Amino acid sequence: MRAQPRHRTVQLAAVFATLLAVAVLTPRTAAAEIERGMKWQSSIPMTFTSGGTVNGENGTSFDINDDLGWGFSFGYNLNQHFLVGADFTWLSANYKATIATDINGDQIPDASADLSGTLDATNLQFFGQYNILKSRVTPFLRASLGWTWVDSNIPSGAPVGTCWWDPWYGYICGSWQPTFEDTEFAYGAAVGVRADVTDRFFLEGSYNVLWVDFNKADTPSFDGFRVNVGWSF
């Protein structure tokens, strides 16, 4: 997956701004070692994910726009170099889709329909990170695996309604409509720079790639940049 040039510029600017902040905020003793080992950490990742195309069966395809996602991350530093943890991130991205249709029911596509909408994606990844240096500023490598849940928000059935007695509002009625959704295995890799600005506060900037193994489609890669703001304790 590749972003349009304008979006790529925005993503690069965000990462460079983060690295500039690292350079300004990190003490001049950046080459000095910091004791990361045996510490927990939490962080808020901001992910700038490139759009692209997911190709399905019989000509069905989704063109997904770039988007900004958010999340939470938790981890434990086993020692000065090795970090293990989990990320939980989500985003909502606009898309345009071409859907192959079967008018006469013979399981052979004979037409197509164009539509647009917004899909929701949630990603849970368990990761291992190797901080190459013991110093406050260090490059790192990361690998991860987990699951990605995607809801296309395309209706998969007729609306369903019901009424009930709410303990605060009394008798109310509502409806909901099932949509096409799926959970797939996903795995990723990243390379970046980490700066422990203080003993308790750190910043990271990285380039990331995530592969999602869709059952009924190809295995697309979603790349982008990530800014991570975190705390150690």
Res. 27 pLDDT band, cuts 50 70 90: low
Going by pLDDT thresholds of 50, 70 and 90, the confidence category of residue 26 is: low
Contacts 24+ apart (CB under 8 A), 17-23: 18/203, 18/204, 18/205, 18/227, 19/193, 19/205, 21/203, 22/137, 22/193, 22/195, 22/197, 22/203, 22/205
Closest CA to 156 of 131, 127, 176, 171: 176
pLDDT tens profile 109-136: 877 888 888 889 999 999 999 999 999 9
pLDDT tens across 124-167, in order?
Answer: 999 999 999 999 999 999 999 999 998 988 777 677 788 888 88
Ramachandran angles phi, psi of 24, nearest 5°: -75, -40
Confidence at residue 1, expressed as pLDDT on a 0 to 100 scale: 42
Query: Is there a domain that residue 166 lies in?
Result: no
- Domain with residue 75: its CATH number is 2.40.160.20
pLDDT in tens, 42-66: 999 999 888 777 777 777 887 888 8
Mean pLDDT of 84-101: 90
Task: Report the chain's mean pLDDT, rounded to a whole number.
Answer: 84
Q: How far is the C-alpha of 177 from the C-alpha of 112, rounded, in Å?
A: 23
The answer on pLDDT for 3 being more than 80 is no
Q: How far is CA 14 from CA 9, 24, 48, 69, 77, in A?
A: 9, 15, 9, 13, 27
Q: What is the pLDDT of residue 33?
A: 79
Q: For residue 167, how far is the Cα from the chain centroid?
A: 37
Instruction: Tell me the pairing of strands 201-213 and 221-232.
Output: antiparallel
How many domains is the chain partitioned into structurally?
Answer: 1
pLDDT at 2: 40
Residue 69 contacts residue 90 (beta carbons within 8 Å) = yes
- Answer yes or no: is 107 within a domain: yes
How far is the C-alpha of 92 from the C-alpha of 112, rounded, in Å? Answer: 25
Q: Identify the weakest region by mean pLDDT among 5-19, 189-203, 214-228.
A: 5-19
In a domain, 168, yes or no: no
pLDDT of residue 206: 94
For residue 116, being part of any structural domain is answered with: yes
Range of the structural domain that residue 99 is part of: 5-158+173-232
For 182-191, write each residue's pLDDT tens digit.
Answer: 899 999 999 9
In a domain, residue 210? The reply is yes
In a domain, 165, yes or no: no
User: pLDDT (tens digit, 9 = 90+) per residue, 202-223?
Assistant: 999 999 999 999 876 678 888 9
Please report which confidence band the pLDDT of residue 195 belongs to, taking 50, 70 and 90 as the band edges. very high
164 found inside a domain: no
Q: Is residue 54 part of a domain?
A: yes
- Judge whether residue 226 has pLDDT over 80: yes
